[in-house]
Amino acid sequence: MKVDFIDLKRVHEPYLQEIQDAVAAVVASGQYVNGPVVGRFEASFADYTGAPFAIGTSNGTDALSLALMALDIGPGDEVLVPAFTFISPASCVARLGATPVFVDIDEAYGMCPSDMATKIGAKTKAVVAVHLFGQCCDPAVFDVADQAGLPVIEDAAQAVGATHRGEHAGTLGAVGCFSFFPTKNLGALGDAGMLTTSDAALADKLRMLRSHGSKPKYVHHFLGANFRLDPIQAAVLQVKLKYLDGENQKRARNAARYDSELRIAGPVVRAHNVHTFHQYCVKLADRDQVRSSLADMGVSTMIYYPHALTEQPVFSGASPCPRAEATAKQILALPIYPGLTASEQDTVIQAVNERVIL
Ligand SMILES: Cc1ncc(COP(=O)(O)O)c(C=O)c1O
């Protein structure tokens, strides 16, 4: 049996008509930039996460850039970022002329608070903490940042719906950044993102920066750009937000099956966290061989991420982060998406267990 890593058409099947109707309503409205559809989705997202303010953006990368811009990060500043994640946190810092300082990871793939403490210096201005693979990072990251007086930008791109002690990812620090890239747990039909904050002044500044730093239109207080959320994507996301918790429960059910039936250890779930299993990753010494035998059996897998950021040519000269670099050689993501059927999951489990030598 062929098992896809993710099949987005299958994900959308149950609510396709609702999505088509929502898109058609935007087309019929004649308003294709900003407008009530964007405002409504921002309000619903604020409601869902419990964040007092939610500001739609063009994508998750731009949400991170906006957060850094709103905190006045620039040349001469250092920002702590995890060494093992997607490139956006580090690239957004570097594009503003600041220096990303890489922090090693812990056993649950999040920023390691003790390594983080050693990397704080006089030039450190902020921290970007990533809630990788669908669960909140170690809460000690916030304590270490607090003690040093540093604001924490949360990269919750992979963690919509995840909570720590009942509080949503994106509401634990100064500002939360979300991505609605199509494969995310809450995915648009294109690019989209969101910012969350409890700080009214910061929300105001983020809103201005999103639209060329202006308020009102054509009066520019800051150098911003066009980082707006598209209303068609907002309409699609408004429909999909209703189903998010149900879809996350399906991911959790799939993860529980892997946990009990795979002959290898699954992801570490931190205390007091609700994990949303954006990815279900295992570690294997012979990862590449296992991956190619699974591919021969029709099972698709992915590698998030094949290289630590400290190993990227664009960041050459970065100090090594040994755990991040070792993880990149061993990690493998198995299909976990809500559309995965029980018999497809049987195939994955059987294929992995056959291949794993204890
Ligand atoms: C951890 C992380 N941060 C940031 C991003 C960037 O989001 P986007 O692709 O919407 O720009 C992604 C998604 O791809 C991500 O996984």
- Please report, to the nearest 10 degrees, the dihedral formed by the alpha carbons of residues 344, 346, 352, 355 taken in order: -110
Q: Which of 248, 304, 215 is nearest to 5 (CA)?
A: 304
Give the type of residue at 180.
F
| Residues of the chain falling short of pLDDT 50 | none
The whole-angstrom separation of Cα 232 and Cα 348 is 36
User: 60 CA distance to ligand 1 centroid (A)?
Assistant: 5
CB of 109 closer than 6 angstroms to any ligand 1 atom: no
Predicted TM-score (pTM) above 0.85:
yes
- Please report, to the nearest 10 degrees, the dihedral formed by the alpha carbons of residues 229, 135, 292, 84 taken in order: 80
Residue with tokens 């999505």: 19
The whole-angstrom separation of Cα 319 and Cα 103 is 9
Which is the closest atom of ligand 1 to the Cα of 64? Answer: 4
Q: What is the pLDDT of residue 65?
A: 98
CB of 110 closer than 6 angstroms to any ligand 1 atom: no
Q: Which of 101, 120, 115 is nearest to 310 (CA)?
A: 101
CB of 185 closer than 6 angstroms to any ligand 1 atom: no
Q: What is the pLDDT of residue 355?
A: 84
- Cα-Cα-Cα-Cα dihedral sign, residues 197, 202, 208, 211: negative
CB of 59 closer than 6 angstroms to any ligand 1 atom: yes
CB of 157 closer than 6 angstroms to any ligand 1 atom: yes
CB of 60 closer than 6 angstroms to any ligand 1 atom: yes
Atom 10 in ligand 1: residue holding the nearest Cα: 60
Q: Which of 181, 233, 281, 302 to mutate to test the pocket of ligand 1 (most atoms within 8 A of CB)?
A: 181
Contacts of 228 (CB under 8 A, 6+ apart): 33, 34, 38, 56, 57, 58, 210, 211
Q: What is the pLDDT of residue 128?
A: 98
Q: What is the pLDDT of residue 358?
A: 57
User: 297 CA distance to ligand 1 centroid (A)?
Assistant: 30
Count CA atoms within 13 Å of residue 198 on its CB side: 14
User: 217 CA distance to ligand 1 centroid (A)?
Assistant: 29
Domains and CATH numbers, the chain: 8-241 (3.40.640.10), 244-355 (3.90.1150.10)
The whole-angstrom separation of Cα 148 and Cα 164 is 22
